[in-house]
């Protein structure tokens, strides 16, 4: 399959420098040099992209700002719409599950949701009509 015209100039440069690049030797970085590169460019090493989690069993742990935003946000599930006196299932594993309204429309069935108040207190319930 031919490449588009806009790529032909780049392909020509690659082809004319291939033999030189094949002989080129790049020295291995020392551990200190690797660490400096990670600290300068890797997102996991950038302190400003993390903050302590304010809620839950991992309260105080440093997590990415985006994850903290999700975990600390108000729930989109209205607890008044669920009958927690009739539990469909119970688990001691914390997972993230949301009510998928499209599933209700697509399949004509009630969606289930997992509501968790702590790591050991998760229950699944069917929304009330």
Position 51 scores a pLDDT of 92
Position 90 scores a pLDDT of 67
Is residue 80 very low, low, confident or very high in pLDDT (cuts 50, 70, 90)? confident
Q: Compute, in degrees rounded to 10, the torsion defined by CA atoms 53, 59, 61, 63.
A: -30
- The rounded percent of the chain whose pLDDT value lies above 90 is 30
Global pTM reads 0.42
Residue 19, CA distances (Å) to 14, 15, 16, 23, 77 in order = 10, 8, 7, 7, 61
CB of 91 closer than 8 Å to CB of 122: yes
């Amino acid at each position: 399959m031919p490449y588009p015209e806009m790529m032909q100039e780049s392909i020509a440069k690659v082809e004319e420098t291939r033999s030189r690049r094949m002989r080129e030797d790049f020295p291995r970085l020392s551990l200190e040099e690797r660490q400096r590169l990670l600290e300068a460019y890797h997102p996991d090493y950038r302190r400003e992209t993390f903050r302590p989690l304010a809620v839950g069993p991992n309260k105080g742990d440093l997590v990415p700002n985006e994850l903290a935003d999700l975990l600390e946000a108000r729930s989109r599930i209205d607890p008044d719409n669920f009958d927690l006196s009739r539990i469909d299932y119970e688990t001691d594993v914390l997972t993230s599950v949301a009510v998928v309204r499209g599933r209700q429309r697509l399949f004509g069935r009630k969606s289930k949701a997992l509501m968790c108040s702590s790591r050991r207190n998760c229950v699944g319930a069917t929304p009330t009509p």
